[in-house]
Each structure stands twice: as structure tokens, then as C-alpha cells.
């Protein structure tokens, strides 16, 4: 199974979303968010190419993929085959303007 590394942007966005869910919707929703995240990470660790290529990032050197996380959120990642590593790049809210989110990916 592939190793998973979160970058700071993705980690901070995940924490922000977790705290928002906890504050607005309660502990059950926060627990669901954590469990869904763990489920998605387990899937992409086993099958790194399972996510669809992210169309808004097709002009990047790396092939960024996305996988639906929960609600309007999707996990953005890329796979480094040579080191069998998945790099979690960001978490996007699909309701937001894509161009603004693309700018967060370096």
C-alpha cells in the first residue's frame, strides 16, 4: 500500500472543515467526517489511480486526481509511483470558484 503524506494546505483545510462541522452540526457529523476521510484514504492507498484526473489542474506537470470526500468536498491528490507515495494537496469545496482553488495548488 502507498504511503500518504498531507501537505500543510490540505491539513489546515481538513482541520478547518472538521471544526466547522463540529461547531455547526455537532459531534456526530464531525465523527462522520473523520471516518469518511479515513475510508477514502484507505481506498486511495490501495488503489492510487482510482481518483479521476482533476480537469482544472490538467495543465500542471503532475497528474492531480480527485476523490469525493463528503458533501461538497473533494480530496485533491497526486501519486508518485517511483516512491509509492500519495501526496494530499488540498481539499476543495465544489461550490467555490474553481479558479481560486486552483491558485492554491503549487
Residues 15-63 have pLDDT tens digits of: 999 999 999 999 999 999 999 999 999 999 999 999 999 999 999 999 9
* pLDDT score at 106: 75
* pLDDT score at 51: 96
- CA dist 79 and 48 (Å) reads 6
- CA dist 103 and 48 (Å) reads 24
* pLDDT score at 84: 97
CATH number for the domain harbouring residue 64: 3.30.2310.20
Number of structural domains (the chain) is: 1
- CA dist 57 and 51 (Å) reads 13
**Whether residue 98 has pLDDT greater than 90:** no
Q: Which of 44, 39, 45 is nearest to 66 (CA)?
A: 44
Q: What is the pTM of this model?
A: 0.93
**Whether residue 99 has pLDDT greater than 90:** no
> Tens of pLDDT along 59-84?
999 999 999 999 999 999 999 999 99
Amino acid at each position: 500500500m502507498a504511503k500518504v503524506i498531507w501537505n500543510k494546505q490540505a491539513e489546515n483545510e481538513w482541520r478547518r472543515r472538521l471544526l466547522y462541522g463540529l461547531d455547526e452540526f455537532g459531534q456526530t457529523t464531525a465523527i462522520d467526517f473523520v471516518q469518511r476521510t479515513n475510508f477514502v484514504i484507505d481506498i486511495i492507498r490501495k488503489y492510487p489511480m482510482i481518483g479521476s484526473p482533476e480537469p482544472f489542474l490538467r495543465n500542471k506537470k503532475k497528474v492531480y486526481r480527485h476523490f469525493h470526500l463528503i458533501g461538497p468536498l473533494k480530496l485533491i491528490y497526486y501519486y508518485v509511483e517511483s516512491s509509492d507515495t500519495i501526496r494530499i494537496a488540498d481539499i476543495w469545496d465544489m461550490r467555490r470558484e474553481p479558479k481560486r482553488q486552483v491558485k492554491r495548488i503549487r
